[in-house]
Every structure is written in C-alpha cells, then in structure tokens.
C-alpha cells in the first residue's frame, strides 16, 4: 500500500527566501509524481508533474525533482512571495496496468506562509 508523507507540516518564511518542501513515498513503483497547490477552502491546482522517466520539472520559480530509488521528491520555490502562501500537496500516481491505475495517493500537505 502506497503511503505518502510530507515534511514539514507547516512552514513560515519571510518574503524572498528560497525554500524546499519534501515528499516521500513508500512504493517506488510509481508512474508519476505530481505537486498541487490548494488555497484555503478551494480545489487543487496542478503545479508540476514529473513522469517516471524524468528527474525534474521546472515552471517559473518552481522546480520539482524526483528520485524514485530513494522514494523522494522535492519542490523548490525560489524567491518566495506572499502570494505563494497556500497548502502544497504531493501525490503519487501508480503504474499502469495495476489495479490502482489512476488513483492518486496524497500526502497530508505542507502549509506555507510567506510574510512580507
């Protein structure tokens, strides 16, 4: 059974800092690893998707890496801004062909607060 853990549970940083959010998963037989952003009371917005054949993905100030062998992914946010304040969730997507295909297993999230 896949389990996903995110560390830290909460993070508060001053504006401008670079920061790293961590995600670990127990079953390395994943298809993809996806990072989402969630604003309070809202749905999920996909930030970055890393396919199993990739090691990292970048979008603007965001960079996500994936190390399947160690069961870890990190989300790096450069030059953080108050508008980055949200909950960040990672989700593991299992391999095709298995009974869990298409089912996302989420971590509990990291609550990020960036203060001016």
Pick the closer one to other proteins by CB: 69 or 99: 99
85 binds other proteins (CB under 8 A): no
Site string for other proteins, 5-44 (x = CB under 8 A): -x------------------------xx-x-x----xxxx
Q: Find all residues with CB under 8 Å of 57, minimum gap 6, and list them.
A: 48, 49, 50, 63, 64
89 binds other proteins (CB under 8 A): yes
What is the C-alpha separation between 14 and 30, in angstroms, rounded? 34
Pick the closer one to other proteins by CB: 83 or 102: 102
Pick the closer one to other proteins by CB: 17 or 32: 32
What is the C-alpha separation between 12 and 97, in angstroms, rounded? 41
Pick the closer one to other proteins by CB: 26 or 81: 26
Q: Find all residues with CB under 8 Å of 42, minimum gap 6, and list them.
A: none
73 binds other proteins (CB under 8 A): no
The encoded tokens of residue 51 equal 């396919």
Q: What residue spans of the chain are helical by DSSP H?
A: none
DSSP state at residue 80: -
Number of residues binding to other proteins, judged by CB under 8 A = 29
Binding site residues, other proteins, CB under 8 A: 4, 6, 31-32, 34, 36, 41-46, 49, 51, 89, 91, 93, 96, 99-109
């Amino acid at each position: 059974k896949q389990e996903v853990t995110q560390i830290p549970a909460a993070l508060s940083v001053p504006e401008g800092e670079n920061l790293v959010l961590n995600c670990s998963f127990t079953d390395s037989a994943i298809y993809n690893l996806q990072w989402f952003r969630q604003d309070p009371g809202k749905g999920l917005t996909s930030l970055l998707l890393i396919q199993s054949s990739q090691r990292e993905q970048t979008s603007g100030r965001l960079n996500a890496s994936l190390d399947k062998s160690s069961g870890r992914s990190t989300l790096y946010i450069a030059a953080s801004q108050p508008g980055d304040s949200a909950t960040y969730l990672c989700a593991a997507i299992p391999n095709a062909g298995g009974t869990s295909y298409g089912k996302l297993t989420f971590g509990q999230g990291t609550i990020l607060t960036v203060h001016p």
